[in-house]
Structure formats: C-alpha cells, structure tokens
C-alpha cells in the first residue's frame, strides 16, 4: 500500500490542514498547523482527563511542538525528529508545523468525535 499526500482530500479548520487515510487498523495523517495550535485545551474537554487518549507515532517534517502530560512533564519535538505520544497528552505547536502521524484508527475516531463536537459548540 502507498499513497501520496496530494492524492488525499484536504480537511481544513481555520489554518489547520489535514489529509488522512486508513491502512487497515492505522490512520495515516499528513498535517500542517499554524503556530500555537490549538490555542488551548478546550477541544479535548470530555475526553478522560481532558487530554488526547490516542497513541500517536510520527515524524516532524518542519517546525516544532510542545507536548505536556497530565503529570506535568513536557518535551519539545522538532523538525527531523520521530516521536511517540502516549495517551494523556496535550500538544501545542510552537511555530508553523508539519507532521506525518500514525494513530490507531478506532481510538483516533473516538478522539476526533469529541474534538469536532467541541469545535462545533464553540463556533456555533
């Protein structure tokens, strides 16, 4: 299996751009995000601990983001680095950022359902 980012439809939310497909049980996402995205943790309200509960594996192609865990630990992931984000995290970009990310499809769907409900509630 293979697919090019350019073959996938764009899903946009303000300055966020995502292109996603599924390879079996895994979701593959090509994502571009503006600096300081998301601006706060409100999209994750309603998830356990109001944090993302989905495992993510990925590579930062450009930019950087900070990941914060419930225990208060945090780290910065920069361009050229691979990452693994355990459930219970919050990520915010530090500058415009582009990643390729792999996530278990079912957990990603559950997480995105909550995020989309929250975003719709904020913008409605």
pLDDT of 122 reads 55
- How far is 87 from 29, CA to CA, in rounded Å? 17
Q: By C-alpha distance, which of 66, 65, 64, 68 is closest to 51?
A: 68
Domain boundaries along the sequence of the chain: 9-98
Question: Residue 102: helix, strand or coil by DSSP?
Answer: strand
**55-83 residue pLDDT tens:** 999 999 999 999 999 899 999 999 999 99
| Strand runs labelled E in 11-54 | 11-13, 16-23, 26-33
SS3 16: strand
Question: How much is the pLDDT for 124?
Answer: 39
- Binning pLDDT at 50, 70 and 90, where does residue 120 land? confident
Q: Kindly report the pTM of this predicted structure.
A: 0.90
Instruction: Please provide the CATH number assigned to the domain covering 9-98.
Output: 2.60.120
Structure tokens at 57: 């594996």
User: Which of helix, strand or coil describes residue 122?
Assistant: helix
pLDDT tens per residue across span 8-55: 999 998 899 999 999 999 999 999 999 999 998 888 999 999 999 999
Residue 52 makes CB contacts below 8 A (sequence gap 6+) with 44, 85, 87, 88, 89, 90, 91, 111
Cβ-contact 34, 15 below 8 angstroms = yes
């Amino acid at each position: 299996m293979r697919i090019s980012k350019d073959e996938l439809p764009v899903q946009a939310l303000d300055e966020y751009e995502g292109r996603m497909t599924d390879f079996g049980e895994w979701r593959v996402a090509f994502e571009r995000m503006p600096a300081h995205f998301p601006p706060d943790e409100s999209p994750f309200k309603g998830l356990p601990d109001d944090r993302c509960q989905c495992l993510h594996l990925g590579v930062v192609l450009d930019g950087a983001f900070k990941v914060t865990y419930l225990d208060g630990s945090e780290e910065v992931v920069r361009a050229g680095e691979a990452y693994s984000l355990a459930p219970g995290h919050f990520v915010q970009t530090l500058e415009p950022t582009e990643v390729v990310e792999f996530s278990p499809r079912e957990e990603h769907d559950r997480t995105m359902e909550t995020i989309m409900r929250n975003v719709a509630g904020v913008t409605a």
